[in-house]
Amino acid sequence: MKAPDVKAPEVKAPDSKVPDVMAPEVKAPEVKTPEVKTPEVKASDGKAPDVKVAKVRPPEIEALEAESAEIKPTDVRPAEIKVRKDRDLTDKQMIGFYRTMYMSRRIDDKEIQLKNQNKIFFQISGAGHEAILVAAGMAFKPAYDWFYPYYRDRALCLQLGMTPTEQFLSAVGAAADPNSHGRQMPSHWGHKKLNIVSQSSPTGTQYLQSVGCAEASYRASLHDAIKEKVIGFHGDEVVYCSSGDGTTSEGEFWEALNTACNLKLPVVFLIEDNGYAISVPVEVQTAGGDVSKLVEGFPNLYIQRCDGTDPIESFQTMQRAVKHCRERKGAALVHARVIRPYSHSLSDDEKLYRPDEERTSDAERDPIKRFGALLVEEGLVTQDELQKIKDEIDKEITEAADVALASPQPARETASLYVYSPDIDPTSKEFDTEDALELSGNPGTMVDLINRCLHEEMAHDPRIVLFGEDVADCSRELNLEKVKGKGGVFKVTANLQRKFGPVRVFNSPLAEANIVGRAIGMATRGLKPVVEIQFFDYIWPAFHQIRNELAVMRWRSGNDWKAPIVMRVPVGGYLKGGAVYHSQSGSSIFTQIPGLRVVYPSNALDANGLLRTSIRCDDPVLFLEHKHLYRQAYNKSQYPQDGFMIPFGKARTAREGTDISIIAFGALVQRSIVAAKQAEQQGISVELIDLRTLSPYDWDAVTATVKKTNRVIVAHEDSLSFGYGAEIAARISDELFEYLDAPVRRVGAMDTFVGYAPQLEDAILPQADDVARAITELHSY
């Protein structure tokens, strides 16, 4: 069938009116790609003939095109919305429904105008999604339920109670913007009073967080002490989480569904399927072009499908989904077919990849003009009354935009606010009890003292939940009395489940992003998750959640939201057989992240005091536990008193000296002590500073030792190039150059990977002899 010569509908200027008349039904004609055969090319005397060869299209592309001829995500309903007696909406609600839809569209249009005038800096619209989003807002309870929206969800936020002024404040980057206080792009929703949790740009990260948010309610319902600590616990609150169809390609979507269904959590997942992820069509994103069919195998998942451009059908669908979750029957997924009448954003031009007839078909399903026509047809309003509603909204939007444009932007000096908690300072004297240290009992290893700290802190604070891979004693509780119990691969969490129960101590799926993402969601509800990543080598699937979500949550929301979790992570080599994937160090990667505290104890006593500070502080903490140090005899300690804490940013002088200073942490502390004893036999006095925390670190202690000895070595286990020591060395050279009698030396691992063979591992990782050699060379400089 030949496609007719149809021009794409012109997108009118923002001050234009939305037509009131119902457009005639127009079906998009099927467009078939003409078959192009590749001409046969014969060689002649070794020379290619002068023939133009058509490009051979890969068979998978041909298959997708054939598949897409059957998949028409936008052609799911006729243009009109049918009159229904069972609409479940009063006349007043119907008109209010239209008002919010129209308001959302006109805010989009006004922002487009402002962007074209260079008065705002970015715009991404929710056009075409308004019906399902207003329906969702009506089905949920504002400031009661919890919301994890995505950037198309303007109409949802309006329906929940966000004002046009508040949305324009976001667009202009105003300090008074309740979404992010000028720190995020527009349409990155967040509103503390409405329980709209701060949204970020990465697509899909919200899924696991929404699951964690719902899990806080689930665990509170099973444990009275937790119930009293969870923010906004009512017993029947529901969590909303939405995304576009493209985001369902992210692995975290599937991880979230797995946990939500496994625990029967009260989460409604809304998929707003407009057929495109920017320019990539749904059949390229999703096998079969229908994600709701792919997830049908998930148990306890209530799946609903609807025309998301039909307000009445959308409302009825969302009502059913929310009711299912509110009654604690499990999670729900709503697959709503919507349209995208505007380009993905103002940085995109959909005409480059969408044909005219497809865009025309979308325009005929526009929910606003269709619903406006229905209101007139049912006699709820006259044409003049409908126009009056539009005029009132247009006036309100113009006034709201003017208020926002006149609102001041954040002052320059506020840029550094809320990187960390403004209320609790873990570097302060309040966290320093070392002077009052009282030791008792037989000496214990680092494992013993960490385990003791966890027992004491969980008894002290019912907000603490502990989870990760293999951390429980036995997930099948019926077998708990028959077995000794796992308690972590290194036994660090042994007997915690036995004492505090499976509601507070439990195993997670083997999915690191799942662990951290859920913990973030729980933390926003007031819980204190202490999670374990089984090996540092496998933290990387969670890095997205750590860098883009966990560390940024407080800053990007202007201190409205926070996620103070503790991530315990076994790290490092010297294992004899650890090899490439059980010996990694990478502290410098995490110390580059603002908002994240990084702690790295070298002995049992410090591990106990620093872990307690990590748990009681109000910031996210990466707590690195060196595997080689877990059970060494040389770093044992008797048990400190309950409540023993060591502040962040306070180094320990592990050895006094006068000739050379070594600054180290982790496993290099003991190796440096061995090297210092060797140097002492040569008459060289070495001072050793154990940093203990890497972010923040004790610059005052570094300064003092440099001024004392005038020669410095920085030793760490990670690769020498671009390692943590480079920052310390650079700062010493920059700020303390006049006190140096020799260049700053660094000792680190080879710039390669850790090998399996013991001899290879010894050659790659820094040894005591390497430190001793550096001492001798620096002393003779």
Would you please indicate which residues are annotated as catalytic (active-site) residues? Answer: 582
What's the DSSP call for residue 359? Answer: H
DSSP 530-596: EEE-S-GGG-GGGHHHIIIIITTHHHHTTTS-----EEEEEE---SSS--TTSS---HHHHHTSTT-
Evaluated on CA atoms 761, 765, 769, 773, the torsion sign reads: positive
Radius of gyration, CA atoms only, the chain: 31
- Separation CA 102–CA 97 (nearest Å): 9
- Separation CA 628–CA 623 (nearest Å): 15
Coil, strand or helix at 7: coil
Residue with tokens 């306890």, as numbered in its chain: 300
- Separation CA 294–CA 235 (nearest Å): 31
| CA-wise closest residue to 54 among 25, 30, 34, 74 | 34
- Separation CA 618–CA 609 (nearest Å): 16
Evaluated on CA atoms 45, 48, 50, 52, the torsion sign reads: positive
- Separation CA 144–CA 216 (nearest Å): 14
Q: Are 307 and 314 in contact, with CB atoms under 8 Å apart?
A: yes
Question: Rounded to the nearest 10 degrees, how much is the dihedral formed by the CA atoms of 150, 155, 157, 158?
Answer: 160
Q: Which residues pair with 532 in a beta bridge?
A: 468, 568
| CA-wise closest residue to 694 among 774, 638, 621 | 621
Run of H or E including 267: strand 267-273
Q: Are 534 and 469 in contact, with CB atoms under 8 Å apart?
A: yes
Q: Are 709 and 724 in contact, with CB atoms under 8 Å apart?
A: no
Q: What are phi and psi of 660, to 5 degrees?
A: -145, 140
Run of H or E including 332: strand 331-337
Evaluated on CA atoms 712, 716, 720, 726, the torsion sign reads: negative
Coil, strand or helix at 103: helix
Q: What are phi and psi of 153, to 5 degrees?
A: -90, 35
Contacts with 283 (C-beta within 8 Å, 6 or more apart), sequence order? 64, 67, 68, 71, 289
Residue with tokens 């004002």, as numbered in its chain: 163
Cβ neighbours around 379 below 10 Å, total: 8
- Separation CA 361–CA 217 (nearest Å): 43
Neighbour-count burial of 327, counting CB atoms closer than 10 A to its CB (0-12 exposed, 13-18 middle, 19+ buried): exposed
* Tokens of residue 163, six digits: 């004002």
- Separation CA 462–CA 459 (nearest Å): 7
Q: Are 317 and 336 in contact, with CB atoms under 8 Å apart?
A: yes
- Separation CA 658–CA 183 (nearest Å): 48
